[in-house]
Amino acid sequence: MTRSRHSRLLLAAGFASAALIGHAADATPKAAAGGWTLAATDSRLAFVSIKNDAVGEVHRFPALGGTVDASGRLALEIALDAVETGVPIRNERMRTMLFDTAAHPTAKVSAQVDAAAVRALPVGASLSVATPVTLSLHGLSGELPGEFRITHVSAQQWRVSTEAPLIVNAATFGLGEGVEALRNVAKLQAISAAVPVTASLLFDLSGR
């Protein structure tokens, strides 16, 4: 299998997380038979904030949903309003001062993948894939380099995990002013604009 096919394969199983998600798992849309649906309760998406150039804190987005259809067309949505930092006031500040979720409630990942290559991976096997990911966030879109591992867990399930964090730069997506606002309100010396993101996503075969 060529590297480019490996790339498309990863994205299929992995960042095929999406289409209109709500905060409840049963709000996740279902893909048509032959596609895949994200198992939201068994999936994780986390990011790290680094303050004062020395302190890293892990946060997550618990409201995920996603699908990949039979042709390999994927859509991923992340409910930004559900951001969980472990501190209620910080959750609120991220919603209002950083993400502006009233205007931009979701982040999206999209790509076209090789569905046949995903189905062809033997049960128990895994492979490493390097592929770009298109992220739409805060009204702007950009492409991120990614390194992932996809594993065919069982006859009906695939798991995709980041082998290296995706690095999201706040300025690329118009979030620089929001980061500065958070720094000021928290009276910090610095908050890094480069944010590492990790994922472990489980997908079920749809229409079974």
102-138 pLDDT, tens digit each: 999 999 987 667 777 778 889 999 888 777 889 999 9
CATH number at residue 68: 2.40.128.110
What is the 3 state secondary structure string of the chain? CCHHHHHHHHHHHCCCCCCCCCCCHHHCCCCCCCCEEECHHHCEEEEEEEECCCEEEEEECCCEEEEECCCCEEEEEEEHHHCECCCHHHHHHHHHHHHCCCCCCEEEEEEECCHHHHHHCCCCCEEEEEEEEEEEECCEEEEEEEEEEEEEEECCEEEEEEEECEEEEHHHHCCHHHHHHHHHHHCCCCECCEEEEEEEEEEEECCC
Instruction: Give per-residue pLDDT as tens, 7-18.
Output: 444 444 443 333
- Tell me the pLDDT of the chain averaged across its residues: 82
User: Domain range spanning residue 184?
Assistant: 3-205
Number of independent structural domains in the chain = 1
pTM higher than the cut 0.85? no
